[in-house]
Amino acid sequence: MFKLFCGSPEGFLGLLFVLFIFALPVAIMVIIANIILKTTEFYKKLITNSFRKFLYFIFLIFIAILICIIFTIGL
């Protein structure tokens, strides 16, 4: 399964590219959420566990899509 990614440099670069594409929006959302939560107390009261659960849900969706892509290309 991982021969395609680790066996050739092109496959490894493709894996890094896919990881970068899926990790970048999640990282941006987490950074924005941390900035909002740390700067103002008003937004800290508004954005509570529901927003964090939403971020975790999106993160899990990205991980699921990434695993599906890896299995599809690898198999």
Indicate whether 1 pLDDT > 50: no
Average pLDDT value for residue range 15-34 = 74
Question: Would you state the pLDDT for residue 46?
Answer: 60
According to the model, what pLDDT value does residue 30 have? 76
Average pLDDT value for residue range 38-45: 62
Type of residue found at 16: L
Model confidence band, residue 29 (pLDDT cutoffs 50, 70, 90): confident
For the packed helices 9-39 and 49-74, what is the interaxial angle rounded to 10 degrees?
180
- Average pLDDT value for residue range 17-33: 75
Residues of the domain holding 48: 3-74
Report the distance separating Cα 69 and Cα 75, nearest Å: 10
CA 22/CA 39 separation, integer angstroms:
27
Counting the structural domains of the chain, the total is 1
- Total-model pTM: 0.36
